[in-house]
Structure 1
Amino acid sequence: MRPATAGLHQEQTGTLEGISEEIGLGGVFELVQRVISYEIFELSGTPVNLMLIFTVGLLLIATWTLSNFLQRAVEKGFRSRGVEDIGTTAITKRLLHYAVMAIGLGIALETIGISLSALFAAGAIFAVGLGFAMQNIAQNFVSGLILLVERAIKPGDIVEVEGRVVRVLKMGIRTTIGRTRDEEEIIIPNASLVQSTVKNYTLGDPFFRIRASVGVSYDSDMRAVRDCLTRAARSVQGRVEDRDPVVLLMDFGDSTVDWQVSIWSDNAWSAPALASTLREAIWWALKEDGIEIAFPQIDVHFDPVVEEAVTRLPRAG
């Protein structure tokens, strides 16, 4: 072997032996650590290496996965609560996706050394201004989420809002659509359902009272009146049979003795018709028993002295 060739062979052998020693079992971890910790460039004073890039990538993947999971959970929750509006579900999922991704991206940028303090300050000012401009929309949006979570009101329920009875057709994030007994569809802001008192006839048990008032003459036999009104209430078709009617003497009026008759119903939608049937039954029952339904009247009594003085007055002509 020539001396030059021998020297080159010895040099290569020494290099391989050095590499072998360096990447041995004891040095593999150190070599990997050196590679992933090697600074590629610097960003805002933060050294960027493979480890940091891997961490940021893993964080973004985890954020994306969390966003998809939450969107599926929201869609499933809406479906279980009877929300069939595709637009409402899509908007809610998209807003949730943007919010989760914005948080994840912000954490990732902070991790690589990009400060978001100035951006957050500007965003806070913008959010305050936008909040004042969209206060009602935001209020209705949050109220819609509360209604969907609590399920105090759901499609198919019969509710009374601001003195009007409606059947709930659809519930959205911002508004709820209902139909009145006159077949009119109305749009109700969700904030009204959350902030005001709402009577839900179908929330628990469906039973409620239907009342009718009537006044009879002071000359009537009150025991006979009670029996007559009880018989009339029991004759009403459509009432809840296993709950007895209630007949109450409510007051002594100027011209009438006031009674109140109440029966039970389990159908709030047909309550006006049932109340009409009850009043008709009361009318005919009182007529059959010869009991007078009194009306306002005034009895005028003259003082005898005054009456005599008036009669002595000279007549005109």
Structure 2
Amino acid sequence: MNVRALSSCFLGICTIACSWLLWALPAWAQITETAPVLLDGRVVFEVARSGQFSATDRAQEATRSLNGVVRATFRPLQEEQEESISITVSTTETIPTLQLNGRHWLSVTSEDTPEGRSLIEQARIWESSLESAIARAKYERTQQFLIRSALLSFLAVAILLFFLRGINVICDRWIYPYLQESHSTPTGGSSYTQPLTIANPRFIAFQVVLNLFRFLLILITLIYISTRFPQTRHLNRQLRDTVIYSLTSDIFPLGNNAYSVLDLIILIGLLTALFILARSIKQVLRMRVLSITGLSRAAQETIAVVANYGFILIGTLVLLQLWGLDITSLNVFAGVLGVGVGLGIQGIAKEFVSGLVLIFERPIQVGDFVDVGGLVGTIENISVRSTELTTIDRVSVILPNSRFLEQEVVNWSHRSGISRLHIPVKVAYGSDVELVRQTLLDAANEHSDVLSIPPPNIFFLGFGDSALEFNLLPWISEPRKQFQIKSDLYFIIYKLFQERGITIPFPQQDIHVRSGKLPVELTQERNL
């Protein structure tokens, strides 16, 4: 298996793993029935549902009240904070409650208490956690801490700039020259080096990875700086919670269910993994299994393509079922798709059907040498929408599949690769026609690519205006080399004609005057 196949398998496994994690995280979040109480973006403790109040409602109310008291009591950039917040546990009611500055803040219910622990013990634990969190919040608003955090933030930015500069230097000195050297194409004694542009696939892949790495470094630095200050940490937590809520909220109704943005991301990830896995299986099937069966290249390609699309079709249906989508609900989508085909995507549907006809009926196959509307080349790939043809100039041309069904296609490789060339030759009047015939046969037999069975033929086409016209008809087994073979035969014919004294005429006309006189005036040249 080559490196590309291994890379595809690795990407497929990683995509499946990430998709599974994205799938498992929302389910795990739904199982947990607690919500965190936050102070300056840090978790103090978690509360559970109580009566008609959900865990999220209780946590949000407690977080809002706690942060309001802390912001009102402790002011930033003060050397010493003389103010304090009193935390007490009140047991005067049926259940213990936590009070801030003598005011009710949060009740401790049986749902908040794990098995084997009393409400009072749980209240004391929360009181201790709250005291530590408030003490830390008080310290983080002092002038000493803020100055230290600012210096650390500047240091983090400096380290980031140093790393980014170092990455640029490493790329310019070593990586870019290596990529450029790896794409050098030797030709004789010299080499042509492909420039590092968008036409270089390795350069594109490296740039994508490099930009992702740079973005990751910048993101890590911003997250670190935001966690150094209480205010930015709180905003960071709010932003993260907002993003999570936006991703997990059911906003796309489909059938009897509703799906979130995260659900769509999961589906896209699973489908991406499916396509990568299908492509890897196609490569392994074609290179490791079909290559040892003795089948032709066209048959191998056809089997691999059918297996690829069959795997994608079955895998898509299975993934949609596992994703939670009722397949019967796709009837509406199928109806909409039918209307769309009638209104605007007839061309795509037409090419799709044409591709299926080409794959299964096989009028052309991968490796065939064809002529389509003046485009002469070899079929390299047949997909459900288009076909790739490589011309004799090594230029790839993408043709719609319908073009092969609606136009006349000359396929020199269809059924049998043996074909006959037509090489017209003219000789001067007075030439020995038997010598010409034998010379043309000798020229054909001298070329190694001309078949001896069936033997080449020589046709005397007739008497032209200024030459005797012959046609050399040699048989060849490699149609894609016909232009080179024609050129070689003309070189051989010209050489043999010169050796045997056979003249190649040029267009000429003889004028015969039957009557009348032509006024011709002779002038004597004078020596100057």
Indicate the TM-score class for this superposition, using the shorter chain for normalisation.
0.5 to 0.7
Q: Give the C-alpha shift of residue 163 in structure 1.
A: 2.0
Contact 1:210 1:264 in 2 (8 A): yes
1:176 maps to which residue?
387
Indicate which of 73, 79, 82 corresponds to 2:301: 82
- Name the amino acid aligned to 1:281: I
1:224 maps to which residue?
435
Can you give the 5+ residue segments of structure 2 that lack an aligned partner in the other structure?
Answer: 1-277, 287-298, 524-528
Q: Give the C-alpha shift of residue 253 in structure 1.
A: 1.3
Instruction: Note if 1:259 corresponds to 2:470.
Output: yes
Indicate which of 359, 366, 369 corresponds to 1:148: 359
Contact 1:211 1:262 in 2 (8 A): yes
Q: Give the C-alpha shift of residue 130 in structure 1.
A: 3.5
- Name the amino acid aligned to 2:344: A
1:245 maps to which residue?
456
| CA–CA separation in structure 1 for the residues paired with 2:317 and 2:347 | 23
Indicate which of 183, 192, 195 corresponds to 2:403: 192
C-alpha distance after superposition, 1:180-207 (max 9, x if no partner): 1111111010001122222222221110
1:211 maps to which residue?
422
Alignment of 1:1-12 (within 5 A): none
1:302 maps to which residue?
513
Alignment of 1:1-317 (within 5 A): 82=301, 89=309, 93=313, 97=317, 105=328, 123=335, 127-128=338-339, 130-307=341-518, 310=519
Contact 2:443 2:493 in 1 (8 A): yes
Contact 2:421 2:476 in 1 (8 A): yes
1:43 maps to which residue?
none
TM-score, length of structure 1 as denominator length? 0.60
Contact 2:341 2:349 in 1 (8 A): no
C-alpha distance after superposition, 1:48-87 (max 9, x if no partner): xxxxxxxxxxxxxxxxxxxxxxxx9xx99x976515579x
- Name the amino acid aligned to 1:306: K
Q: Higher relative contact order by CA 8 Å / sep ≥ 6: 1 or 2?
A: 1
Aligned residues: 224
Taking structure 1 as reference, are residues 95 and 248 closer, same or farther at Cα in structure 2, changes over 3 Å only?
Answer: farther
Contact 2:425 2:469 in 1 (8 A): yes
| CA–CA separation in structure 1 for the residues paired with 2:368 and 2:374 | 16
Q: Give the C-alpha shift of residue 276 in structure 1.
A: 0.6
| CA–CA separation in structure 1 for the residues paired with 2:522 and 2:407 | 69
The secondary structure found in structure 2 opposite 1:167 is strand
C-alpha distance after superposition, 1:73-105 (max 9, x if no partner): xx99x976515579x72796279959xx99x83
2:151 maps to which residue?
none
Contact 1:85 1:170 in 2 (8 A): no
- Name the amino acid aligned to 1:82: E
The secondary structure found in structure 1 opposite 2:376 is strand
The secondary structure found in structure 2 opposite 1:303 is coil
| CA–CA separation in structure 2 for the residues paired with 1:148 and 1:245 | 36
The secondary structure found in structure 2 opposite 1:249 is strand
- Name the amino acid aligned to 1:131: G
C-alpha distance after superposition, 1:275-307 (max 9, x if no partner): 111111211121111111111001112234324
Contact 2:368 2:413 in 1 (8 A): yes
| CA–CA separation in structure 2 for the residues paired with 1:263 and 1:256 | 22
C-alpha distance after superposition, 1:149-180 (max 9, x if no partner): 11222222222211222212211110011211
| CA–CA separation in structure 1 for the residues paired with 2:312 and 2:405 | 19
Contact 1:168 1:179 in 2 (8 A): yes
Taking structure 1 as reference, are residues 314 and 274 closer, same or farther at Cα in structure 2, changes over 3 Å only?
Answer: closer
The secondary structure found in structure 1 opposite 2:472 is strand
Residue identity (%): 29
| CA–CA separation in structure 2 for the residues paired with 1:278 and 1:179 | 25
The secondary structure found in structure 1 opposite 2:508 is coil
How large is the RMSD of aligned CA atoms in angstroms? 3.7
Q: Give the C-alpha shift of residue 147 in structure 1.
A: 0.9
Taking structure 1 as reference, are residues 82 and 97 closer, same or farther at Cα in structure 2, changes over 3 Å only?
Answer: same
| CA–CA separation in structure 1 for the residues paired with 2:405 and 2:312 | 19
| CA–CA separation in structure 2 for the residues paired with 1:158 and 1:302 | 55
1:65 maps to which residue?
none
The secondary structure found in structure 1 opposite 2:465 is coil
Taking structure 1 as reference, are residues 219 and 145 closer, same or farther at Cα in structure 2, changes over 3 Å only?
Answer: same
C-alpha distance after superposition, 1:242-286 (max 9, x if no partner): 221111111221111111111111111211111111111211121
